[in-house]
């Protein structure tokens, strides 16, 4: 009861929900009691207490929207279930409820899919604040598409010294073929890749970025203001001897390595993970370690490069923060035992630690890779979009309509240097949370919201 009274006193100071603080206290108590009854298998008691919760939610405060009030109720339920699951030692459910709690808390604080600023200037400013580095990603296809594993890349017409030949990925080889022919702008490179793929492959390359970059500026894998080190991580997985075996992913790494070595990256700056018996295996553990190595100590002026050729997956979203209900993921060599590398994990390892002035270029030659880094700006190289750039009606990337700044802040809370402020999130989600739940919300606050 002491904790309840403490939370009640905090609720009295809340202005975001308005209404009667005693009502908020009654809602919190009723949700906790109903959930406890459910966990104790007290059927009749649980029904009564759920009705008590419904009664406590009435009337809806006039100044609170229906969606906010519904989320507030969901927050109480998730908080109570999280606490009860932890008490019962049901770790899997506790983690699910924790993710739900964080998702509802983000919504209450003005975040969530589709809730980013509509004003382009405000959107860009917020993107720069939560992601200080310049991160640009080429993906071989959109989230809903598969990427081709080509049996004979000779059809692309690459010079003999461009790679080992044989099998390879359509994205990697069309990119290298284009880059060896001419100097391109970003959009010209995408168009050239489309031209090479056209007629044989339906996949449509995408470009995404942490910045609203000028599509007509020159393409480069180097920092536009290079003054630091060069470092690259290249991953190729053929899944040899499995039912998911591919043919050309290790060859893709060889091809890409030759290209980047001719463009600023020396041998000592490049780490390879391939299931070829010569390099370290691309297991989940090794990939995660490689990503940490890539970004470790990165500072302004550094040029970083990441290339992945292997399987990609689209799986059910496990925390409700994706507009399409799907998480995109990379498939390590040991994915069947160690699991996938989901988009949230990749973002946390590759993007979140980077500081302002660092440049990271990523090329992902795998299925379902369109938004695997969850970046705020995007450009799909379909016919209409390419035509719009050529006509001059479009020159910059579009805002990602599904981008969730709250999710990004949740992920980067483990990197305090990136947060604009170390303030604890205020409001109902904080005052009625346990100490651990409060800790989970650290970093959600920033200087641009109160």
Among candidate residues 367, 368, 419, 431, the one labeled active-site is 367
302: Cβ–Cβ under 8 A, 6 or more apart, which residues?
Answer: 223, 228, 229, 230, 231, 357, 358, 359
Q: Are 211 and 128 contacting, i.e. CB atoms less than 8 angstroms apart? A: yes
According to DSSP, the β-strands at 230-236 and 326-330 are unpaired
- What distance in Å separates the CA atoms of residue 430 and residue 438, rounded to the nearest whole number? 6
DSSP line for 2-56: HHHHHHHHHHTT--SS-S-HHHHHHHHHHHHHHHHHHHTT-HHHHHHHHHHHHHH
Tokens describing residue 370: 């369109």
- What distance in Å separates the CA atoms of residue 214 and residue 443, rounded to the nearest whole number? 31
Among candidate residues 311, 362, 366, 368, the one labeled active-site is 311
- What distance in Å separates the CA atoms of residue 39 and residue 203, rounded to the nearest whole number? 49
Q: Report the sign of the C-alpha dihedral through residues 364, 328, 96, 416, in that order.
A: positive
- What distance in Å separates the CA atoms of residue 411 and residue 404, rounded to the nearest whole number? 11
Q: Is 311 a catalytic residue?
A: yes
What secondary structure letter does DSSP report for 424? P
Q: Are 379 and 187 contacting, i.e. CB atoms less than 8 angstroms apart? A: yes
401 class by beta-carbon count within 10 Å (0-12 exposed, 13-18 middle, 19+ buried) = exposed
- What distance in Å separates the CA atoms of residue 313 and residue 341, rounded to the nearest whole number? 9
SS3 content of the chain, % helix, strand, coil (to 5): 45, 15, 45
Residues with catalytic annotation? 311, 367
């Amino acid at each position: 009861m002491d904790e309840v009274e403490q939370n009640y006193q905090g609720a009295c100071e809340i202005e975001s929900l308005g209404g009667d603080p005693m009502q908020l206290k009654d809602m919190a108590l009723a949700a906790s009691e109903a959930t406890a009854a459910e966990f104790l298998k007290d059927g009749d008691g649980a029904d009564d207490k759920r009705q008590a919760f419904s009664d406590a939610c009435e009337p809806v405060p006039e100044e609170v929207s229906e969606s906010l009030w519904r989320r507030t109720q969901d927050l109480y339920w998730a908080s109570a279930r999280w606490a009860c699951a932890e008490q019962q030692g049901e770790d899997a459910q506790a983690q699910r409820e924790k993710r739900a709690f964080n998702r509802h808390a983000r919504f209450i604080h003005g975040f969530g899919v589709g809730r980013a600023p509509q004003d382009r200037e405000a959107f860009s400013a917020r993107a720069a604040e939560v992601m200080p580095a310049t991160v640009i990603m080429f993906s071989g296809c959109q989230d809903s598409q598969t990427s081709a594993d080509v049996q004979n890349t000779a059809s692309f017409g690459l010079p003999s010294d461009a790679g080992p030949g044989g099998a390879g990925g359509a994205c990697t080889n069309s990119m290298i073929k284009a880059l060896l022919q001419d100097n391109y702008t970003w959009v010209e490179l995408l168009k050239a890749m489309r031209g090479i793929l056209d007629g044989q492959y339906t996949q449509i390359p995408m470009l995404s970025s942490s910045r609203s970059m000028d599509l007509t500026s020159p393409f480069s894998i180097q920092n536009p203001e290079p003054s630091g080190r060069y470092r690259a991580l290249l991953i190729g997985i053929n899944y040899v001897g499995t039912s998911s075996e591919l043919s050309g992913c290790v060859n893709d790494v060889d091809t890409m390595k030759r290209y980047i070595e001719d463009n600023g990256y020396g041998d000592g700056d490049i780490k390879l993970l391939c299931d070829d018996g010569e390099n370290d295996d691309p297991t989940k553990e090794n990939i995660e370690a490689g990503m940490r190595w890539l970004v470790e100590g990165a500072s302004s002026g550094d040029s970083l490069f990441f290339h992945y050729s292997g399987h990609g997956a689209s799986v059910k979203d496990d925390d409700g923060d994706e507009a399409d209900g799907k998480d995109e993921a990379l498939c390590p060599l040991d994915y069947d035992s160690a699991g996938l590398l989901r988009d949230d994990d990749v973002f946390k390892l590759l993007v979140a630690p980077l500081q302002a002035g660092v440049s990271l270029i990523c090329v992902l030659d795998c299925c379902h890779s369109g938004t695997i880094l969850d970046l705020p700006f995007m450009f799909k190289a379909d016919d209409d979009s390419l035509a719009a750039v050529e006509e001059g009606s479009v020159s910059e990337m579009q805002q990602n309509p599904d981008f969730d700044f709250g999710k990004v802040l949740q992920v980067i809370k483990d990197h305090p240097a990136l947060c604009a402020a170390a303030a604890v999130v205020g409001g109902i989600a904080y005052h009625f949370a346990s100490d651990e739940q409060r800790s989970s919300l650290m970093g959600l606050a920033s200087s641009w919201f109160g």
